[in-house]
Amino acid sequence: AVLDQIKAMEPLLNSFVTIEEEKALEQAEEVQKRIEAGELTGPLAGVPVAVKDNICIDGMKTTCSSKILWDFVPTYTATAVENLKRSGAVILGKTNMDEFAMGSTTETSAYGATRNPWNPDHVPGGSSGGSCAAVAAAECFYALGSDTGGSIRQPASFCGVTGLKPTYGTISRYGLIAYGSSLDQIGPVAKDVTDCAAVLEVLASHDEKDSTSVERKDCDFTEALRDDVKGMRIGIPADYLGEGLDLEVREAVLKAARILEEKGAILETFDLGMVEYAIPAYYVIASAEASSNLSRFDGVKYGYRAKEYDGLHGMYKKSRSQGFGPEVKRRIMLGSFVLSSGYYDAYYLKALKTKALIKKAFDEAFSKYDVILGPASPSTAPKLGESLSDPLKMYLGDIYTISVNLAGLPGLTVPCGKDSKGLPIGVQFIGDCFKEKNIIRAGFAFE
């Protein structure tokens, strides 16, 4: 059924970069046998999933939606995907994204933009726009995304689906092609909080192959699916409701807060602080890490190589110039600049200090509140083409999501209404480190 739905929807949406119909049907048959033999019993057995194209699967093309990886077929599988496979997941293929996960609209893909299933003139958000559009259009039951600065939570909000970014270190990054290593996390996109919690439970695991992976003993996330927020302390940052926030988004988010209050949560607005520094700090740190991470794509070991070139350096230069798109080049140049001698202290080091202060602001907030509630994005999905011409405006749209990555916190977006154009709005729940259960509880009680 999902393969039929993919065939019907793809000419319009372009959610997928790669569809593996035969492999999926083979896997489904195998899983069916194992279910009948009683070997597979979990909730994910036989359920079809789509995987963002920056997550490696052995034998399946993985491009990061970039020309530079146009023919790259990994020889290993990401731990997150291994965990899903062990639970009997059926993998449908790879979903479209902003090139190397840099963007907020899925328009920087070398394979064309994905469109928003609610209105194809609008973007699905990004960078996990393919994953979120695929779930919204019932092309799969759930999907994997990655979130460096909001790339799961913002497109989930634009597509009217549920997306969760766990605490940094909860899901192994082994096999996730790095963008900003200190910020990147894989996470689930699904129809509702229940499905997100069930998938997260399978994805979370300690992994020796990722040195930042954490050993956790509290990964029974579905335990938090209780319709009970009595006494839960919820803080709403006043600095998340001010200038720049669309009025319809504001209304819908505050309505969500009132529903939780009616259910017994204790609501309060407060000043989080540091909010205006999040975007500059994030774009310095993420670009610095990206410039280093992306130096491996040189046309030598894998991926695209320019046809004609002059010497080794000429080959690097031409392959990278032709292989990377404009947004990726912008980040590489920005990142190299802030790391270069003379500028390191002025920009990179300052950004790291800002990051520490942002974490401190959240620590203070979580001494008073169990959950922070706010919007996921200042507006609903913009029209295609609007953001491409104005990258700075696009960066500013990340205001409510990026500080969560800088502080390593878990965040969850749940649909909370539509604007007058019929485009979805999402409410974001932010938890303290390792407190996914609090945001799952709040999200479940709300939806």
Instruction: Report the residue from 127, 185, 293, 354 that binds ligand GLN according to the rule CB under 6 A.
Output: 127
Six-digit token string for 205:
């695991």
Q: Work out how close the CB of 102 gets to ligand GLN at its nearest, in angstroms, rounded to a whole number.
A: 5
Is the Cβ of residue 128 or residue 438 nearer to ligand GLN in the bound state?
128
Q: Which of 219, 220, 224, 221 is nearest to 172 (CA)?
A: 219
Q: Work out how close the CB of 406 gets to ligand GLN at its nearest, in angstroms, rounded to a whole number.
A: 12
Instruction: Report the residue from 82, 147, 207, 239 that binds ligand GLN according to the rule CB under 6 A.
Output: 147
Q: Which stretch binds ligand GLN (CB under 6 A): 133-141, 148-156, 316-324, 384-392?
A: 148-156
Is the Cβ of residue 48 or residue 129 nearer to ligand GLN in the bound state?
129
Six-digit token string for 237:
């940052």
99 forms part of the interface with ligand GLN (CB under 6 A) = no
188 forms part of the interface with ligand GLN (CB under 6 A) = no
Residue among 128, 131, 151, 205 flagged as catalytic = 151
289 forms part of the interface with ligand GLN (CB under 6 A) = no
102 forms part of the interface with ligand GLN (CB under 6 A) = yes
Q: Which of 437, 24, 446 is nearest to 204 (CA)?
A: 437
DSSP strands (E only) in 305-405: 371-375
**33 vs 27, 101, 140, CA distance in Å?**
10, 37, 21
Indicate if 127 belongs to the active site.
Answer: yes
Q: Work out how close the CB of 373 gets to ligand GLN at its nearest, in angstroms, rounded to a whole number.
A: 21
Contact criterion met (CB below 8 Å) for 351 and 335: no
Indicate if 66 belongs to the active site.
Answer: no
Q: Work out how close the CB of 431 gets to ligand GLN at its nearest, in angstroms, rounded to a whole number.
A: 18
Q: Which of 427, 380, 434, 437 is nearest to 236 (CA)?
A: 427
What distance in Å separates the CA atoms of residue 28 and residue 51, rounded to the nearest whole number?
16
65 forms part of the interface with ligand GLN (CB under 6 A) = no
Contact criterion met (CB below 8 Å) for 130 and 112: no
Q: What is the DSSP string of 235-264?
A: EEEGGGSSTT--HHHHHHHHHHHHHHHHTT
Q: Which stretch binds ligand GLN (CB under 6 A): 74-82, 99-107, 155-163, 221-229?
A: 99-107
150 forms part of the interface with ligand GLN (CB under 6 A) = yes
Q: Work out how close the CB of 17 gets to ligand GLN at its nearest, in angstroms, rounded to a whole number.
A: 16
124 forms part of the interface with ligand GLN (CB under 6 A) = no
**231 vs 99, 397, 428, CA distance in Å?**
43, 33, 19
- β-pairing, 371-375 vs 233-237, is parallel
E strand or H helix that includes residue 4? helix 2-13
210 forms part of the interface with ligand GLN (CB under 6 A) = no
CB atoms within 10 A of CB 114: 35
Largest CA distance in the chain: 70
What distance in Å separates the CA atoms of residue 155 and residue 157, rounded to the nearest whole number?
5
- β-pairing, 162-165 vs 233-237, is unpaired
Residue among 52, 85, 94, 435 flagged as catalytic = 52
Q: Work out how close the CB of 33 gets to ligand GLN at its nearest, in angstroms, rounded to a whole number.
A: 38
Q: Work out how close the CB of 59 gets to ligand GLN at its nearest, in angstroms, rounded to a whole number.
A: 25
Per-residue binder mask for ligand GLN (CB under 6 A), 387-406, x = binder = -----------x--------
104 forms part of the interface with ligand GLN (CB under 6 A) = yes
Residue 187 has phi, psi (to 5 degrees) of -160, 165
CB atoms within 10 A of CB 94: 28
286 forms part of the interface with ligand GLN (CB under 6 A) = yes
101 forms part of the interface with ligand GLN (CB under 6 A) = yes
What distance in Å separates the CA atoms of residue 185 and residue 166, rounded to the nearest whole number?
7
Six-digit token string for 38:
């009683």
Please count the residues of this chain forming the interface with ligand GLN, following the rule CB under 6 A: 13
Is the Cβ of residue 104 or residue 131 nearer to ligand GLN in the bound state?
104
Is the Cβ of residue 102 or residue 409 nearer to ligand GLN in the bound state?
102
Residues with Cβ within 8 Å of 310's Cβ and at least 6 positions away in sequence, in order, are none
Six-digit token string for 41:
């019993």
What distance in Å separates the CA atoms of residue 356 and residue 281, rounded to the nearest whole number?
10
103 forms part of the interface with ligand GLN (CB under 6 A) = yes
151 forms part of the interface with ligand GLN (CB under 6 A) = yes
428 forms part of the interface with ligand GLN (CB under 6 A) = no
Q: Work out how close the CB of 173 gets to ligand GLN at its nearest, in angstroms, rounded to a whole number.
A: 13
Give me the residues paired with residue 20 across strands. Answer: none
Instruction: Report the residue from 125, 149, 299, 374 that binds ligand GLN according to the rule CB under 6 A.
Output: 149
Indicate if 151 belongs to the active site.
Answer: yes
Per-residue binder mask for ligand GLN (CB under 6 A), 153-182, x = binder = --------------------------x---
What distance in Å separates the CA atoms of residue 130 and residue 150, rounded to the nearest whole number?
14
Residues annotated as part of the active site: 52, 127, 151
Binding residues vs ligand GLN (CB under 6 A): 101-104, 127, 147-151, 179, 286, 398
